[in-house]
Chain A
Amino acid sequence: MQTGKASWLRLRTPVLWLALLAAMGTLSLYASPYTVIMVTNILMYVILTVSWVLFSAPTGYISLATAAFFGVGIYTSATLGGQLPLPLIILTAGVASFVLAALVGALTLRLKGVYFAFFTFGLVELIKHLLLWYEVSVTGVRGRFVVSADNVTIYYIILGILVILLLTSYLIRRSRVGLALQAIGEGEDAAAHTGINVSAVKTFVFALSAVFAGAAGAAMATRWGYVDPYIAFDYLFSFTAVAMAVFGGLGRFEGPILGAVVFAFLRELLITRFPYVYMLVMGSVLVVTILYLPQGLVQLAQKSTWRRLRGHREPA
């Protein structure tokens, strides 16, 4: 009994992940077209959140540049749509975001704390307005139509990007780079004197995290059909990623995923069912979560949390 339980515990996580992947991988066979679109949306937010976590959680650098990388992806898709096959467009978007993030990272990752957050926020606005100026004064258009793909294809592309992202995050956490990132988050000076090339590690992981936001942007653009700089470079995508990650909990691998899923689903549900009180309910849920579950939704998985919420005191 005891050994059976132990081996189940060891296998439980991989088995659950595989079951989840199987369910997601066959979604279009049993779910309604609406469900497929909704799940695509949710997965897009999971990608933005997990890619943000990849760099920002271990290092403590709060990046608000997610929307910039997402937007670069969207515009790559808008510009190249129809000229290249979709997978190549998505790859190009990933590379473009990587290059942008590497450049920005090399220049700005020496900024600490709130300065870095401000700069990355500024980046979104900067690119948006540069693009707007370029489109209006050089190409003479304000928005662009994007060659569209069908919803099931987009769903599977988004799912594919997410699976690669999760594998990347998992492998990074277990690798030398993950150890280096953790050390950098704990103390950058000490990390450097311990032989870690701090700027190289930070820049590389920052750029790597941007690949996924860019790729997701390129895929999503094909569903939206029309984009302009305001739609593509909407800083809400940056804030939402941070909020979802914190909502779910940064302490554990599953936290941000759970946060993004619950957050995005709740929003979808509230907007469609209760359009008038949507913001009110959403705000209340966030406030209550932060108050009672400061470490995010994953805290619900701990027994001590339930005891505390029922009013019992923690044994000292």
Chain B
Amino acid sequence: MSLLEVEGITKNFGGLAAVSHVDLRVDEGEVVGLIGPNGAGKTTLFNLLSGALKPSSGAIRFRDENITGLKPHQICHKGLARTFQSVKVFGGMTASQNVLAGAIFGDRGQMSPKQAGKEAARLLEFVGLSAVAAAPARDLTLANQKRLEVARALATKPNLLLIDELMAGLNPTEVAQAMDLVAAIRKQGTTVLIIEHVMKAIMSICDRILVLHHGEKIAEGTPQEIATSRTVVEVYLGE
């Protein structure tokens, strides 16, 4: 069943089409990868999906509901959460307060503080940050801050999680751990749309991959198809 359906979405910045007529479909339970060279419009697409930017044209349907033009907090409440390419943890707050905020506000304030606290502790455990729960978020390593963002986003109980470059700047061990984390997220029932530059990772964790170039979708298919696609190799992967 399709969870997210995007039709002809376009975003113009002045004369520049950062994202141009992109169609996109994500089914429940999938892990879909979004790749492309720098400036291809991947993060802009995430900003459109999560409501940070309003599209110039096109429509976004999420769980059979038109969410085009909704505000970020409304989209979050619909069950679509995200992380950020340049980490945006609440630096002065502790790791557990970060996740607590997600649990309390992502659920439209329906959770009691006690439940929210339990949920936050569970998610910190899930992403492997229990040991640093009481540390201010700004003191965590980059890898851990990225995990913290994932936990904060998961705390809002999303059906779809947009992950923007979980692995950039991480060492090989951390990359392997991040891949395990994405697998675990899918296993607990959250669909994932992920932007990533680490090819080894994206090829092994995704069911399908979309390739953006100059704001346009130039290819879509299984990792196998993408790796052997003539166009993709030319514009992005290289010979």
Interface residues of A (CB under 8 A from B): 176, 179-180, 182-183, 185-187, 189-198
Which segment of B29-37, B83-91, B172-180 sits at the interface? B83-91
Residues of A within 8 A of B105 (CB): 176, 180, 183, 194-196
Contact of B73 among A185, A186, A195 (CB under 8 A): A195
Instruction: Give the CA-CA distance A198 to B101 in the complex, in Å.
Output: 13
Chain A's closest residue to B155 (CB) is: A194
B106 at the interface (CB under 8 A from A): yes
| Chain B nearest Cβ from A217, distance in angstroms | 33
Interface residues of B (CB under 8 A from A): 50, 52, 71-73, 76-77, 81-82, 84, 88-93, 97, 100-102, 104-109, 152-153, 156
Instruction: Give the CA-CA distance A192 to B92 in the complex, in Å.
Output: 17
Instruction: Give the CA-CA distance A304 to B25 in the complex, in Å.
Output: 59
Contact of B50 among A179, A182, A193, A196 (CB under 8 A): A193
| Chain A nearest Cβ from B114, distance in angstroms | 13
Residues of A within 8 A of B82 (CB): 193
Say whether A182 contacts B102, CB under 8 Å.
no
Residues of B within 8 A of A176 (CB): 104-105, 109
Residues of B within 8 A of A195 (CB): 73, 76-77, 102, 105-108, 156
Chain B's closest residue to A174 (CB) is: B113
Instruction: Give the CA-CA distance A253 to B104 in the complex, in Å.
Output: 24
Say whether B90 contacts A183, CB under 8 Å.
yes
Instruction: Give the CA-CA distance A196 to B72 in the complex, in Å.
Output: 9
Chain A's closest residue to B52 (CB) is: A189
Say whether B156 contacts A179, CB under 8 Å.
no
Residues of A within 8 A of B71 (CB): 192, 197
Residues of B within 8 A of A190 (CB): 84, 88-90
Say whether A179 contacts B100, CB under 8 Å.
yes
Chain A's closest residue to B138 (CB) is: A186
12 A-B residue pairs with CB within 8 Å: A182-B90, A182-B92, A186-B93, A187-B90, A187-B91, A189-B84, A194-B101, A194-B102, A194-B156, A195-B77, A197-B71, A197-B73
Instruction: Give the CA-CA distance A187 to B153 in the complex, in Å.
Output: 15
Say whether B101 contacts A183, CB under 8 Å.
yes
Contact of A186 among B50, B84, B92 (CB under 8 A): B92
| Chain B nearest Cβ from A197, distance in angstroms | 5
Chain B's closest residue to A192 (CB) is: B72
Query: Which of B76, B77, B101, B109 has its CB near the most chain A CB atoms (within 10 A)?
Result: B101
| Chain A nearest Cβ from B215, distance in angstroms | 22
Say whether A193 contacts B77, CB under 8 Å.
no
Contact of B93 among A183, A189, A196 (CB under 8 A): A183
Instruction: Give the CA-CA distance A198 to B89 in the complex, in Å.
Output: 16
| Chain A nearest Cβ from B108, distance in angstroms | 7
The 9 closest A-B pairs by CB, nearest first: A186-B90, A195-B105, A190-B88, A192-B72, A195-B106, A195-B76, A196-B105, A187-B88, A197-B73
Say whether A189 contacts B88, CB under 8 Å.
yes
Residues of B within 8 A of A193 (CB): 50, 52, 72-73, 76, 81-82, 153
Instruction: Give the CA-CA distance A195 to B77 in the complex, in Å.
Output: 6
| Chain B nearest Cβ from A108, distance in angstroms | 18
Chain B's closest residue to A182 (CB) is: B93
Residues of A within 8 A of B109 (CB): 176
Chain A's closest residue to B108 (CB) is: A195
Residues of A within 8 A of B106 (CB): 194-195
Residues of A within 8 A of B108 (CB): 195
Known: A176-B104, A187-B88, A194-B101. 11 other contacts (CB 8 A): A183-B90, A185-B92, A189-B72, A190-B84, A193-B50, A193-B73, A193-B81, A195-B105, A195-B156, A196-B101, A197-B71
Chain B's closest residue to A187 (CB) is: B88
| Chain B nearest Cβ from A153, distance in angstroms | 41
Residues of A within 8 A of B73 (CB): 192-198
Query: Which of A179, A190, A197 has its CB near the most chain B CB atoms (within 10 A)?
Result: A190
| Chain B nearest Cβ from A192, distance in angstroms | 4
| Chain A nearest Cβ from B13, distance in angstroms | 18
| Chain A nearest Cβ from B219, distance in angstroms | 29
| Chain A nearest Cβ from B122, distance in angstroms | 17
Chain B's closest residue to A190 (CB) is: B88
Query: Which of A176, A187, A189, A195 has its CB near the most chain B CB atoms (within 10 A)?
Result: A195
